[in-house]
Amino acid sequence: RYTLAWFNENLTNELPEPHYWEGDSDPIFWEIKLNKDEPWESREQMFKTKIIESLDVILPKAVSSMEFLNSIAAFIDDIVVELSKVFPAEEGWEYSQNAKSLEKWTGVYFYKTSWKREGLERGIISYGIECENLQFDNLIMGIPKGSDKYTIEPAKEQLLVSKITELFGGGKTSPWWPYYKVFDYPHRYIKDILKDREGFLAGIRDNFSKMKTDVTPLVDNIINTGSITMGD
């Protein structure tokens, strides 16, 4: 999926219109048109020339894109390091991440060991940072559940959301997230954030420190009192 998105973004002006198998939504090959009346040797040479010309277009952009992806991967590692200072293992915190796939709705999640349950990749409730778009773009933060099947007792969920709204203002909700919000930061997209990574890392450190201090007691109470349950 990422490869196709990259081709569509970078090469639509340089390569011919892609072709599709009937009923297939993904482009699978590009056609190079040759004059059938030309001798085979001429057509073969033209084919080789077209391939070389295409590679001349593709390779520099591919190298540039790989360098960009590597910078995103390094940035995600920086996020983990920075948030590990807020949620240190010696205080009973763990984390999980699936962000290196660079797909939508992947991220980094921190949670107490006591919030974890068997079969879940993260806590029943966690502190999370995710991306709404490919390439870890358009970052959101909040308190995701470990599954959309979990339901929090309404009164306690309202208390939880009210507290985090008090800290960061109104956000959004979804079956997975009792609360999430796009980072309140001058730069919304990864290309811009990477130009000010230290400023961004300081911002997320500050935001998650506030959540740890003010929201953690409420999450502890929800989990310790059995106020979050798994539905069908």
- CA pair distance 41, 43, nearest whole angstrom: 5
Q: Is 43 helix (H, G, I), strand (E, B) or coil?
A: helix
Task: Determine contact, residues 142/179, Cβ cutoff 8 Å.
Answer: yes
* pLDDT, tens digit (0-9, with 9 covering 90-100), for 122-155: 899 999 998 877 766 778 899 999 999 999 999 9
Nearest to 181 by CA among 103, 100, 134, 127: 127
- CA pair distance 211, 83, nearest whole angstrom: 12
Q: What is the pTM of this model?
A: 0.72
Give the chain's mean pLDDT.
80
pLDDT: which is higher, 53 or 20: 53
pLDDT: which is higher, 43 or 170: 170
In the chain, what percentage of residues exceed pLDDT 90? 44
Give the pLDDT confidence score for residue 89 in this predicted structure. Answer: 95
For 208-220, what is the mean pLDDT? Answer: 96
* pLDDT, tens digit (0-9, with 9 covering 90-100), for 164-190: 999 999 999 999 999 999 877 776 677
* pLDDT, tens digit (0-9, with 9 covering 90-100), for 3-36: 555 555 555 555 555 544 454 554 444 455 556 6
Task: Determine contact, residues 128/109, Cβ cutoff 8 Å.
Answer: yes
Nearest to 103 by CA among 75, 80, 131, 126: 131
* pLDDT, tens digit (0-9, with 9 covering 90-100), for 88-124: 999 999 999 887 655 778 889 999 999 998 888 889 9
For 62-67, what is the mean pLDDT? Answer: 67
